[in-house]
A = this chain, B = another copy of it.
Amino acid sequence: MERSLTLTPDPLDEPALVATRRMTGDMGAAVYFSGVVRGSEDGQPISAIEYECFRPMAEHQFHQLFDELEHRWPVESLRLVHRLGVVKVNESSLWVEVIAPHRGEAFAACQWLIDEMKRVVPIWKKPVV
């Protein structure tokens, strides 16, 4: 499985990421998730979210998840970008691409990865008012 993990303070350029998609002729499905900062947190308006990351552990935990994902589903390629630092409302903090032969496995793998990420990858949010 091709894999790409980026933890970066830079804004996510999603059109550019989509433009660099690579998939072989055996693949029929590409599923994308963009997580975007919402304008309120617990009912209070916010202007941004600050993401803190324990980077060596986050990278290790992400790659453990990628290993497990690769065993569970026939995914050809996985790319994940998580933005760190201050991310303004309406900007993306997370972008995931999963490429697989069929849509069922691409959707399942993508959702599983995000659920697991939110369970084990050491990244924390702090609302900015």
Contacts and interface: CB of A to CB of B under 8 A. Distances in A.
B89 A25 contact: yes
The size bracket of the interface on A is: 20 to 34
Given A107-B111, A114-B103, A35 B25 contact: no
Contacts of A36: 23, 27-30
| Stoichiometry (number of copies) | 2
A110 B110 CA distance: 13
Interface string A8-42: 00000011101101011111111111111111100
A101 interface: yes
A4 interface: no
Contacts of A30: 32-34, 36
